Amino acid sequence: MVDVQHDDTTDEYVTLRALALMLARGSVGGTVAPYGTVILLEAGLPPALLGPLAALGAIATLLAAPTWGRLGDRHGRRRMLALAMLVAAPIALAHATGRVAVIAVAYVLWALVASAFIPLTDSLVLGRLRGDRARFARVRVGASAMYMVVVVVLGALVSGTALGWAAPGIVGFVLCLLATAAVVGRLRGELISGTGVAVRGGTGLVTGILAGVRRNRWFLVGLALVFAGSNAPTIFTGPRVAEVGGTGWEVGLAIAAGTLVELPAFLTLPWLLRAIGGQRMFVTGGVLLGVAGLTSALAPTPELLIAARLLFGAGYAWVVLPSLAAISAAAPPDEHAASAALHFATQAGGSLLVALAGLPLVAATGSVAAVLAVAALAAPVGAVVGLRAWPRAASPVEPAPGPAEARAST
């Protein structure tokens, strides 16, 4: 009985530590990223340059995320996460300078460094929770909740204080330093040795990334199409609300609605995964994203757009967790963080698809509705492609025989 109680206490402690890490991730992620494009426009960036700069940020994320993941596998995930958050602090502060050239460079640099936050945190938490998707879904809610809190607080600071649009950069600087201190404090001896997190004897950096791409290439292609369907509403919902006559309050409400519904969606995911399975969840999420995108494209009122964002939040949650769990389960032990980073990089690939295909559509039609409609069709198609190439779980590695077993076999 004593041993059982000790194990339960340990499990609760690990879950609380995982939740704290997710809260740190959500707080840092909710600072400059949601406001980056608006900060650029407020600083004087011509609107015509916003699309190419957003595409450049997506390319930076696409290249950096797998690199961060592989470095985390080789040198310690906590150490790389602490390094990324520390480097992110001055980059966040650069967003508060008010100089468009400085902010434009900081925008791309933020994409490079912030691409470490999600994959390293998720792979670290999944590892600490021993791949338990139910517990991961519950602690994942902490990231979304803290993200929402920070975004709302920053919106109030921008509107109600003299800080104005410098608020995201200043708050981001402070939160990055606090998050770095928290992760470093947890590292203790691992900061120097990397023990307990890094995997010895792994393949090289480029070799490991290419191995993950080869192993899951068609799944990643399908996933990129699905994320194009999810990222198009993320990018263009605000302009679409403005097109149909919505107010600034309705723009903010529509953007927040997607994250709001993620909280109950992630809480119900463990039950749904047991009831219908990860693959069915993935396809259902792709269909929901398609319906949400088409509704956003055709909605004549802000209220219907807000409802579409609620549906989008559920679809996004139902796509992310099963696909992340599948790609992590298919990876060998020395490529777990790199595979999670490839998953995140595929989300950036979806943004790049939207940027490359969407900008000509906007220029040709004068409306963002066409982009939303095309991306909506891509989401269910990508879900089917991903389902047909669903990753197979890696075979367990059998331990090498001991001396007694070796003698017996001879």
What pLDDT score does 244 carry?
A: 76
CA-atom Rg of the chain in angstroms: 21
How far apart CA 86 and CA 191 sit, in angstroms, is 14
What pLDDT score does 255 carry?
A: 66
What pLDDT score does 195 carry?
A: 44
What pLDDT score does 169 carry?
A: 93
Residue 43 pLDDT > 50: yes
How far apart CA 383 and CA 391 sit, in angstroms, is 13
What pLDDT score does 84 carry?
A: 92
Residue 396 pLDDT > 70: no
What pLDDT score does 250 carry?
A: 63
Asked whether residue 226 falls in the same domain as residue 367, the answer is yes
Residue 288 pLDDT > 60: yes
Q: Which among 222, 213, 179 has a CA at the least distance from the CA of 389?
A: 222
Q: Does residue 403 belong to any structural domain of this protein?
A: no
Is 356 or 179 the better-scoring residue by pLDDT? 179
What pLDDT score does 63 carry?
A: 79
Asked whether residue 102 falls in the same domain as residue 25, the answer is yes
Asked whether residue 215 falls in the same domain as residue 230, the answer is yes
How far apart CA 159 and CA 114 sit, in angstroms, is 26
Quickly state the pLDDT bin for 171 (edges 50, 70, 90): very high
Q: Which two tokens stand for residue 327?
A: 């790609």
Q: Does residue 6 belong to any structural domain of this protein?
A: no
Residue indicated by tokens 């390319």: 59
Mean pLDDT over residues 18-22, rounded?
Answer: 84
Structural domains of the chain, count: 2
How far apart CA 349 and CA 359 sit, in angstroms, is 15
Q: Does residue 82 belong to any structural domain of this protein?
A: yes
Average pLDDT, the chain: 76
Is 248 or 312 the better-scoring residue by pLDDT? 312
pLDDT, tens digit, for every residue of 328-382? Answer: 777 776 666 667 677 777 877 787 787 777 767 766 776 777 778 888 888 899 9
What pLDDT score does 59 carry?
A: 81
What pLDDT score does 71 carry?
A: 82
Asked whether residue 154 falls in the same domain as residue 222, the answer is no
How far apart CA 385 and CA 226 sit, in angstroms, is 9
Return the number of other C-beta atoms located less than 10 Å from residue 15's C-beta: 18
Asked whether residue 311 falls in the same domain as residue 218, the answer is yes
Q: Which of 178, 198, 218 is the last residue of a domain?
A: 198
Return the number of other C-beta atoms located less than 10 Å from residue 179's C-beta: 25
